[in-house]
Structure 1
Amino acid sequence: MAVRRKVMAIFGSRPEGIKMAPVVQELRRHPDWFETLVVSTGQHREQLDQVFEAFGLRADHDLAIMQPRQTLTDIMVRALSGLDALLTAERPDLVLVHGDTSTTAAGALAAFYHKIPVGHVEAGLRTFDKYNPYPEEINRRMAGIIADIQFAPTPRAREHLISERVDPGTIFVTGQTGVDAALTVLRQPHEFSVPALREIDFDRHRVVVMTAHRRENLGEPMRNMFRAIRDLVERFPDVLLVYAVHLNPAVRELAWPILGGHPRILLLDPLPYPDMIHLAARSYMAMTDSGGIQEETPSLGVPHVLMRETTERPEALEAGVILLSGTSYEGVYSAGERLLTDGELHRRMARAQNPFGDGQASRRIAEYLGWRFGFLPEMPAPFDPRA
């Protein structure tokens, strides 16, 4: 008979928390198979706490590494140090990390130092430009080199790993767990918790939901983005922009001088995840530099302007669910203008099929681990976006 295994899920940022929460919930539906521990590095303190609340989770261990204006080196050093002591004490059978944050790289490296197997959720995303996104491209490559199990979200991500000579037998295509999270929240009855959102007249306004926080966009690229977006709001009197401003002071110091003070621009603190999903679902379009929101908006029927120079999710471009604008004033303004004036383009993008997932990725991960550890006789079927 198979022996119950200890699985440690390590994450520290809001995006990781959102995408790992349904995995943790699914693992905990099998208490005879897994003892599931949640470890938070606290890389994003306030924003991660929102995620725990939204999904009814708590951290079994919290390293609380966050400090004001922390550097990448600060995060890595404190995370490695805290995880070293924790892995010595807990000795899990498997460490799960997600995606491409500094916590991801530190979690994988710490487990490697302890010779503990690593499963990498959302493995195989690549831009092949080590500084874009920065530092995420190197973080996920590092985790990919270390990982013993590669949970690739799409067939394209699997191909990337195989091209890097990863053993195909260690790769399993799951779909995107972020889609699981978004669909779960969307199915729940919801009233906005943030008063400003309750006051929006969605019938009167075309609402544009926005996020912008990427490290490589700080400075002139972000200034260009903000100027273009303000001018779009000025040009289209029925547009209302809602921007959940990242807590990074470098972002806030740019956002308020350019976007503040306009009657149809709402600058809000980061929104609770259920508020963000239900806001996006009721919006006309999204304008972001986010990675994960590219995966959510197709399931919500919301066209998306991606304000980045590259994307590690080319499936979104091929499926026609995003416009890649770059970060120049002209590129951002032009892409936003197209969606605000071309009704046929908007309808086509809103109706496109989501290439990233079907809401079953977390179940596939739990069942795959159940098979690997001997609790199930057969491996589950992988995600197929053509199905």
Structure 2
Amino acid sequence: MVSEPTVLVIYGTRPEAIKVAPVILAARDSKVAVKTLTTGQHPEMVAAVNEVFGIIPDASIDVMRPGQSLNALAARVLEGLDEKLAELKPDAIMVEGDTTTVMAAALAAFNSHIPVVHLEAGLRSGNLFLPFPEEANRRLAGQVASLHLAPTPASRANLLRENVDPKLIAVTGNTVIDALHYVVDSGQAGQGLAPEFAAALARDGLKVLVTAHRRESWGQPLHEMARAVRASADAHPEVTFLLPAHANPQVRETLTEVLAGAANVTIGDPQDYAAFAGLIKGVDLVLTDSGGIQEEAPALGKPVLVMRDTTERPEAIAAGTARLVGTTYESVHSALEGMLISQEARAVMSRAVNPYGDGHAAERVVAALEELLGVGKRLPDFAA
């Protein structure tokens, strides 16, 4: 009897874990066998996501060391995967997104003559250094991919401009929408939420979720963003701001230095995925420099102000679910004030159609994997 072809899903950070989870679940009833390997880039946060979805990794490596450089991290991923790829002998590997794990795992598989499947392929900001190092990571992974799983038609168009063979591209929608639906529908959204955030959500008045952590925001841009939030918090004591501060000391110190002491700003630790989904569900507005939240928040009808100068997710801007507001004090403060003052502005953005998915992306991904490995046929492309 011929065994099923095997796909090894490799992931290392929380965003990756969230977006591969629906594929892992959907593949259980497919014609391909899926094995999972975690690299340990975000070990505790990945473990929490795996628990939400009932996933137990088949293998793992331990790559994190205190204060290590990006090059050292990439080297540990490459070295660790050499042994694992030889041991597990997958017919293909799948990576998601644009982290150091993704770039290094794609290269490791390529060097071992194993086909690479890139989930969430084709995102481009147009600036190699923004976001850093993510823009370079996803471009490098794309160079060695045998199958590009683009989340949107715009992502497919980016790949075509780079001369990728159209037959190697499938438009799937983004699996982050599948994941969010799973957590909400299973009743897990908000489970494990820190008491301080639960209390903040219970207050009357508007509530704003604030997240900021990207590497290019460190330093002066992050200080400017924090100043803008503090000014609006002081001007609107009836509005509650919820800030799960990133664990990175550079990020946390900048944010707390500016925002500590504001009575209507609740600062706490990063929340597990299910708890964070509850935060998104419970607020009225999101202010962020994150990539994934630009996709998640619109799925729950939440307007998003993006504190960046460029975004690799222009679909949300075009659809009106998100607005790019820059990183200066003046630009962030002006945009935030406008949304706090105008109920109609919030309503218009919350009613816009989410261009990122319909909750069936994982089905399309699995069908594309089956076609790649010769045991099935892909489904029609997702149309936003």
Instruction: Give SS of 2:37's match.
Output: strand
AA paired with 1:18? I
- After superposing on structure 2, the runs of 4+ consecutive aligned residues of structure 1 that deviate more than 3 Å are none
Aligned to 2:122: 124
The answer as to whether partners of 2:234 and 2:262 remain within 8 angstroms in 1 is no
Matches within 5 A, 1:200-349: 200-202=200-202, 204-349=204-349
Do the aligned partners of 1:246 and 1:269 also contact (CA within 8 Å) in 2?
Answer: yes
Q: 1:109: which partner in 2?
A: 107
1:16 match: 16
2:380 is matched with which residue?
Answer: 381
**Once the 2 structures are TM-superposed, how far is the Cα of residue 136 of structure 1 from its aligned partner?**
0.4
Shift of 1:300: 0.5
Write the distance in 2 (CA, Å) between the matches of 1:249 and 1:29: 43
Kindly indicate whether the alpha-carbon contact (under 8 Å) linking 1:2 and 1:374 is maintained by their aligned counterparts in 2: no
Shift of 1:202: 4.0
Amino acid of the structure 1 residue aligned with 2:380? A
Q: 2:47 aligns with which of 46, 49, 65?
A: 49
Q: TM-score, length-normalised on structure 1?
A: 0.96
Residue 68 (structure 1) aligned with residue 66 (structure 2): yes
Q: Distance in 2 between matches of 1:147 and 1:346?
A: 40
Cα 1:230–1:157 change in 2 (3 A) is: same
Q: Deviation of residue 3 (structure 1)?
A: 4.4
Distance 1:367 1:128 in 2: 30
Task: Say whether the 8 Å CA contact 1:2–1:373 is kept in structure 2.
Answer: no
* Contiguous gaps of at least 5 residues in structure 2: none
- CA RMSD for the aligned pairs? 1.4
Question: Which amino acid in 2 is paired with 1:349?
Answer: M
Distance 2:253 2:378 in 1: 50
Distance 1:41 1:264 in 2: 39
Identical positions, percent? 42
- Asked whether the equivalents of residues 177 and 357 of structure 2 are also in contact (C-alpha less than 8 Å), the reply is yes
Please tell me whether the aligned partners of residues 172 and 364 of structure 2 are also in contact (alpha carbons under 8 angstroms).
Answer: yes
Q: CA deviation at 1:6?
A: 1.1
Counterpart Cα distance in 2 of 1:45 and 1:195 = 24
What do residues 128-182 of structure 1 show as CA deviations (whole Å, max 9, x unaligned)?
1011000000000001111000000000000000100000000000000111111
C-alpha separation in 1, matches of 2:137 and 2:206: 37
Asked if the contact 1:105–1:142 (Cα under 8 Å) also holds between the matched residues in 2, the reply is: yes
Give the distance between the partners of 2:288 and 2:71, measured in 1 at CA: 26
Distance in 1 (CA, whole Å) between partners of 2:129 and 2:153 is 24
Who is 1:135 aligned against? Answer: 133
TM-score if structure 2 supplies the norm length?
Answer: 0.96
CA-CA distance at 1:370 after TM superposition: 2.0
CA contact (8 A) 2:200 2:266 kept: no
Rounded to whole Å, the distance in 2 between the matches of 1:325 and 1:136 is 20
Count of equivalent residues: 382
Q: CA deviation at 1:203?
A: 5.6
